């Protein structure tokens, strides 16, 4: 008897729960799989904070198309195998309407077959070109590709007459993808890569690699592709060895933390970056000025932490989604997907997005700003 009552009760409760969600809230469910811990936490942590913060903000302003937003997020611990599992959970169990995330390219590609099969709009926050090239029906991404970063750097080198470049890349997804793209586009800018060295993400000393690079005949500049503490160590070692060649970094170091860690050794370093680090220095006429200033201010207030360009990617992803859902007028997956593909002139932190059937990222090369570190601060180059 007891057992039967229990079963009845459970069934009733379950029925209530299902009906309850159908009637009362009916929220828009946005799923996210991010690398909040592990080696890629440097990217994933601000991404999650940004999503949480802006979902709160959107809900405070009445949600989207009259419905509240619910964020369902999982941490893949920087393991793409877990990202794959959690994506299944989002699709099958949490029944989300749209997925943001995949902090790293590896995680994104592990999630890709699932979202394509389930036919659900997916906005990745990772950099690799392969995510959107060739365009896959349900996949979009917000950050500039690593190819664009390499192109922006090589373009700057070309203008300065630097043609023999040493490449030093991090032995991580970010660094190795950057290395591959750098090798692919170097020739287009008349650049020869005369050295190809790597370092581990947690390495503590890169003087060996830099000494080797220093000894390469005719080398004119060094390009480092990595993120977090590694590039800061490289920069310090660079100064220690007294190498006077121009030092270029990737967008992976576009955060105040880099300047703080590398200190005076970072003087003169050049890098491509979204507008965020130079929000205050943008001319008033810049269309992005308001967006990036507001984002930086809100993030700093809410989390008592420095805003990062990686968090900005999540902001862009959420805004792309919100914009698409508004224009679609529903959370119908196919309609939202079509709306995403027709996004135009959406100003966000990474640049102005103009998507199309052939371009599921929608940023142009000019969205990357060239910055130089002078007097311990970012300077905008033209």
Partner 1 sequence: MLSELLQFLFSGLTVGAMYALAAVGFSLIYSASGVINFAQGEFIMLGGMSAALLVQAGVPLPLAITLAILVAVVAGLIVEKLAIEPAGNAEVVTLVIITIGASLTLRGLVEVFLGKGNHALPAFSGEEPIAILGATLMPQSLWVMGVTLVVVVALALFFGRTTLGKAVLATSCNKLAAQLVGVNTRFVLLLAFGLSAALGAVGGILVAPMTYTSYDAGIMMGLKGFVAAALGGLGSGVGAIVGGLLLGIVEAMTAGYISSAYKDAMPFVLILLILFFLPQGIFGKKTTDRV
Partner 2 sequence: MKPTTRGFLFLAFVLAVLPLALPNAYYYDLAIRMAINATIAVGLNLLVGYTGQISLGHAGFFGIGAYASAILTSRYGLPSALAMGLGAAATAALAFVVARPILKLKGNYLAMATLGLGIILSMVIVNETEFTGGPDGMPVDAFSLFGLQIAGEQAWYGVVAVLLLFVTRGALNLIDAPAGRALQAIHGSEVAARVAGIDVPSFKVRVFVLSAVIASVMGSVTAHYVGFLTPGVAGFFHSIELITMVVLGGMASVFGSILGAVVLTLLPQLLSAFEGWETVIFGLILMLTMIFLPRGIVPTLRLKFAGRAA
- For binding to partner 1 (CB under 8 A), which residues are involved? 37-39, 41-42, 45, 171, 197-200, 202, 204-205, 207-209, 211-212, 215, 228-229, 232-233, 236, 239-242, 257, 260-261, 263-265, 305
The nearer residue to partner 1, 142 or 176, going by C-beta atoms, is 176
Is residue 219 within 8 Å of residue 246, measured between CB atoms?
no
241 binds, among partner 2, partner 1, none (CB under 5 to 8 A by kind): partner 1
List b or e across 66-95, with b for residues whose CB sees 16 or more CB atoms inside 10 angstroms. ebebbbbbbbbbbbbebbbbbbeebbeebe
What tokens were used for 136?
């896959």
The nearer residue to partner 2, 29 or 236, going by C-beta atoms, is 29
Question: What is the footprint of partner 2 within residues 95-134 (CB under 8 A)?
Answer: 104-106, 109-110, 112-113, 128, 130
For residue 122, give the H/E element and its range.
strand 122-124
The nearer residue to partner 2, 67 or 180, going by C-beta atoms, is 180
The nearer residue to partner 2, 75 or 156, going by C-beta atoms, is 75
d(CA 287, CA 283): 9
Answer whether the bond into residue 12 is a cis peptide, omega within 30°.
no
The nearer residue to partner 2, 93 or 366, going by C-beta atoms, is 93
Is residue 276 within 8 Å of residue 369, measured between CB atoms?
no
204 binds, among partner 1, partner 2, none (CB under 5 to 8 A by kind): partner 1
Question: What is the footprint of partner 2 within residues 165-224 (CB under 8 A)?
Answer: 171-173, 175-177, 180
# chain residues binding partner 2, by CB under 8 A: 33
Helix, strand, or coil (residue 247): strand
**Residue whose entry in the numeric block shows the structure tokens 């005949």:** 217
118 class by beta-carbon count within 10 Å (0-12 exposed, 13-18 middle, 19+ buried): middle
223 binds, among partner 2, partner 1, none (CB under 5 to 8 A by kind): none
Q: Which residues bind partner 2 (CB under 8 A)?
A: 36-37, 74-75, 77, 79-82, 84-86, 88-89, 91-93, 104-106, 109-110, 112-113, 128, 130, 171-173, 175-177, 180
């Amino acid at each position: 008897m007891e057992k039967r009552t229990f079963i009845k009760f459970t069934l009733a409760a379950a029925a209530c729960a299902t009906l309850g969600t159908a009637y009362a809230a009916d929220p828009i469910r946005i799923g996210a799989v991010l690398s909040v811990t592990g080696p890629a936490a440097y990217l994933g942590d601000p991404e999650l904070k940004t999503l949480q913060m802006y979902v709160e903000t959107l809900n405070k302003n009445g949600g989207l198309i009259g419905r509240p937003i619910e964020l369902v997020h999982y941490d893949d611990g920087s393991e793409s195998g877990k990202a794959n599992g959690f994506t299944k959970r989002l699709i099958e169990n949490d029944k989300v309407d749209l997925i943001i995330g995949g902090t790293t390219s590896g995680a994104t590609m592990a999630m890709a077959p699932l979202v394509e099969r389930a036919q659900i709009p997916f906005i990745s926050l990772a950099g690799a070109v392969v995510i959107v090239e060739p365009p896959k029906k349900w996949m979009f991404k917000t950050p500039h590709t690593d190819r664009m970063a390499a192109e922006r750097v090589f373009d700057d080198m070309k203008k300065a007459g630097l043609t023999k470049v040493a490449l030093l890349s991090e032995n991580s997804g970010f660094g190795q993808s950057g290395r591959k793209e750098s090798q692919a586009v170097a020739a287009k800018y008349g650049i020869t890569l005369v050295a190809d060295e790597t370092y581990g993400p947690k390495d503590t000393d890169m003087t060996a690699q830099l000494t080797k690079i220093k000894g390469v005949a005719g080398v004119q500049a060094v390009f480092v592709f990595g993120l977090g503490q590694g590039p800061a160590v490289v920069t310090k070692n660079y100064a220690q060895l007294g190498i006077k060649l121009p030092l270029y970094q990737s967008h992976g170091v576009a955060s105040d933390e880099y300047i703080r860690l590398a200190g005076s050794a970072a003087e003169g370093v050049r890098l491509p970056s979204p507008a965020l680090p130079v929000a205050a220095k943008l001319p008033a006429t810049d269309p992005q000025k308001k967006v990036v200033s507001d984002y930086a201010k809100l993030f700093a207030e809410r989390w008592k932490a420095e805003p990062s360009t990686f968090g900005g990617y999540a902001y862009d992803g959420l805004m792309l989604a919100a914009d698409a859902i508004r224009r679609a007028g529903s959370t119908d997956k196919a309609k939202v997907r079509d709306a995403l593909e027709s996004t135009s002139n959406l100003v966000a932190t990474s640049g102005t997005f103009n998507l199309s059937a052939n371009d599921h990222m929608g940023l142009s090369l000019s969205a990357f700003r060239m910055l130089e570190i002078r007097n311990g601060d970012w300077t905008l180059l033209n």
